[in-house]
Structure 1
Amino acid sequence: MPTFAARLHQKIVEHSPLCVGIDPSAALLKSCNLPDTPDGAFEFGKRVLEAADYRISLLKPQSAFFERFGSAGLKAVEELTTLARRREVLVLLDGKRGDIDTTGAAYAEGYFSTTTTLRVDAVTTHVYLGLAALDPFLDIAVRAEGGVFVVVRSSNPEGRELQTARMANGETVAQNLCREITLRNRKQGEGLQYIGAVVGATCDDAAATVEALPQSFILAPGVGAQGATIQDVLKRMPSARGRVLPNVSRAILANGGEVSDIRTTIRSLQDQSRELL
């Protein structure tokens, strides 16, 4: 199997860098005339895939909106993931997992092992326990040709104080993460590698953050409902052309919730996001 980086690069070239988020909240399902149930959540994801004709670089289901239904919700996200990957759509599960040694490895096995029922292409993670604590998770991901996106600078304003706090060596927490992620990616070779980063499209320090991650794909949340535009991504992350993925979730319903409405929105956003290549 090609590496995650190679697979994602190919999809970006084929379809555009747009990452489509699946966030089936109660309010969103209601706006689409779907029931607030696991079946409704699955149907919404399926509707988006059909609207896109399965021609997107990355599908990002938000795990929490499925987990809120318990085991039936997990079954729904499993079915959605299986459907997407069967049609060769890459799936990034937005679960923001992160823990120490054996526990972190167990999380990774749940997404990357050969026996899991929730096999995905990549997962989002957080590293409040330290990036080194995530190494067992990273080891399993790279062996499975999977990807990991580490939250470095989030799009929510509450994260700024912690992420820009200064460490004893003078680096901010975010700068330290950039350096450590890049060191790990370099061990895998030249070019883009399997450890990506989450850098909010609303962050005023995004340019410097992204520049310090030269071998990482960048997931850029904050486009749409949080106020940023794809043009903002272009302005704030000029060094990330070809590797930045603007993420749009709620805003895919800008023209309505029917398949034809979503298709119109996705095609427009893909056209705009090609400016990032």
Structure 2
Amino acid sequence: MAEPDGTPDAQVKSTESPKVAFGTRLAEAMRARGPLCVGIDPHPGLLLKWGLEDSVAGLRSFSRTVLEAVGPLAAAVKPQVALYERHGSAGLAVLEELLAAAREARVLSIADAKRGDIGSTMAGYADAWLRDGSSLAADALTLSPYLGFESLRPALDLAAENGRGVFVLALTSNPEGASVQHVGGNQSVAKGIVQAAARENERYAKETLGSVGLVVGATVGTALNDLGIDLAAVRGPILAPGLGAQGATGADMRATFGDAYQAVLATSSRGILGAGPNISALQQATVETLRGL
């Protein structure tokens, strides 16, 4: 993996060949730039800190600035969909602009929408976020499996068809998550989700990395060992929020993820975004974060 030096590298393909599997494109981006995803989280307080109004205009300025600053440096960007939805249809229009700009800049995008439902409703979500030609289409989408992993089938299949990916919530670091995810001990709910993702990635056996990823918090501590979960067997990317402002360091993550660390895409949001709105400062914060991974 090349040492990040703050100099934008050659453009990494994101949608030039949309049928190339997402996992392979992500692995290429991680090798070229490092294993970092920058969250684009326009919290009202952060907009204020940047001197922006909590408005659609502020949202647009924030989004454009973050993409311009970190797009050439990070393997992916992850807009938090809820923080665009709170501005209504105009906010979603800004998100559409951001996703289009990321495609144009060949920056991989992960829509953090945590969608999960059944039947035609799940198919509708898949069509919105994973269909070629949709104005909301991202390279990957976060999903919630708590109506049953198989309820995600429309998204799993459409993502595979269109060279896109998914990240399924497996083991989150919020305290409430354990009340569901840890149930069952050595046969926990989280372990079942991880095993289901591993089976799903069998269709990507010839690819560098599977396109069915998992969301596992960088601050879950010993939970993986406690629950007997083998992330390395998944052969898919691990989206790990919690780097920086939430307290996790690169060393913590290497200890937590062990043999699966090479597949980990660390996510930092506030730890980098707090350096804005100056683009150079945002870039420096990104480079410093990469050096710690």
Short-chain TM bin:
over 0.9
Kindly indicate whether residue 53 of structure 2 is the aligned counterpart of residue 18 of structure 1: no
Residue matched to 1:178: 194
Residue matched to 1:38: 56
Q: Given that residues 210 and 237 in structure 1 are in contact (C-alpha distance below 8 angstroms), is that contact kept between their aligned partners in structure 2?
A: no
Alignment of 1:203-222 (within 5 A): 203-204=220-221, 205-206=223-224, 208-211=228-231, 213-222=233-242
1:43 and 1:13 map into 2 onto residues whose CA distance is 30
2:276 and 2:150 map into 1 onto residues whose CA distance is 44
**Alpha-carbon offset, residue 161 of structure 1:** 1.9
Residue matched to 2:21: 3
Rate the CA distance shift 1:152–1:272 in 2: closer, same or farther, 3 A: same
2:71 and 2:184 map into 1 onto residues whose CA distance is 46
**Alpha-carbon offset, residue 55 of structure 1:** 2.8
Task: Choose which of 132, 135, 145 in structure 1 pairs with 2:150.
Answer: 132
Q: Which moved further from structure 2: 198-207 or 173-182?
A: 198-207
1:65 and 1:37 map into 2 onto residues whose CA distance is 11
Kindly indicate whether residue 215 of structure 2 is the aligned counterpart of residue 195 of structure 1: no
Rate the CA distance shift 1:164–1:212 in 2: closer, same or farther, 3 A: farther
Instruction: Show CA shifts across 1:171-219 (max 9, x none).
Output: 1001111111111111332452110000001112246535354311000
1:186 and 1:209 map into 2 onto residues whose CA distance is 18
Task: Choose which of 151, 159, 166 in structure 1 pairs with 2:177.
Answer: 159
Rate the CA distance shift 1:164–1:55 in 2: closer, same or farther, 3 A: same
Kindly indicate whether residue 117 of structure 2 is the aligned counterpart of residue 99 of structure 1: yes
2:282 and 2:168 map into 1 onto residues whose CA distance is 29
Alignment of 1:54-93 (within 5 A): 54-93=72-111
Identity percentage of aligned residues: 38
Give TM-score scaled by structure 2 length: 0.88
2:55 and 2:141 map into 1 onto residues whose CA distance is 24
1:257 and 1:112 map into 2 onto residues whose CA distance is 31
Instruction: Show CA shifts across 1:99-126 (max 9, x none).
Output: 1121111101101223311111000000
Instruction: Show CA shifts across 1:50-71 (max 9, x none).
Output: 2225232110000000000000
**Alpha-carbon offset, residue 254 of structure 1:** 4.4
2:233 and 2:190 map into 1 onto residues whose CA distance is 11
Runs (5+) with no aligned partner, structure 1 = none
Q: Which SS does the other structure have where 2:127 is aligned?
A: helix
Rate the CA distance shift 1:80–1:210 in 2: closer, same or farther, 3 A: farther
Q: Given that residues 210 and 218 in structure 1 are in contact (C-alpha distance below 8 angstroms), is that contact kept between their aligned partners in structure 2?
A: no
Letter in 1 for 2:273: L
Q: Which moved further from structure 2: 183-192 or 7-16?
A: 183-192
Residue matched to 2:128: 110
Q: Which moved further from structure 2: 66-75 or 218-227?
A: 218-227
Q: Given that residues 37 and 77 in structure 2 are in contact (C-alpha distance below 8 angstroms), is that contact kept between their aligned partners in structure 1?
A: yes
**Alpha-carbon offset, residue 148 of structure 1:** 0.3
Instruction: Show CA shifts across 1:130-182 (max 9, x none).
Output: 00111122111110111000000012111012100018xx6100111111111
Instruction: Show CA shifts across 1:229-254 (max 9, x none).
Output: 22211111121233101100111134
Instruction: Show CA shifts across 1:24-64 (max 9, x none).
Output: 01001011111111221222122122222523211000000
Letter in 2 for 1:182: A
Runs (5+) with no aligned partner, structure 2 = 1-16
Tell me the number of residue pairs that the alignment of Structure 1 and Structure 2 aligns.
271
Q: Which portions of structure 1, spanning 4 or more consecutive aligned residues, are displaced by more than 2 angstroms? A: 52-55, 206-214, 253-257
Letter in 1 for 2:104: R
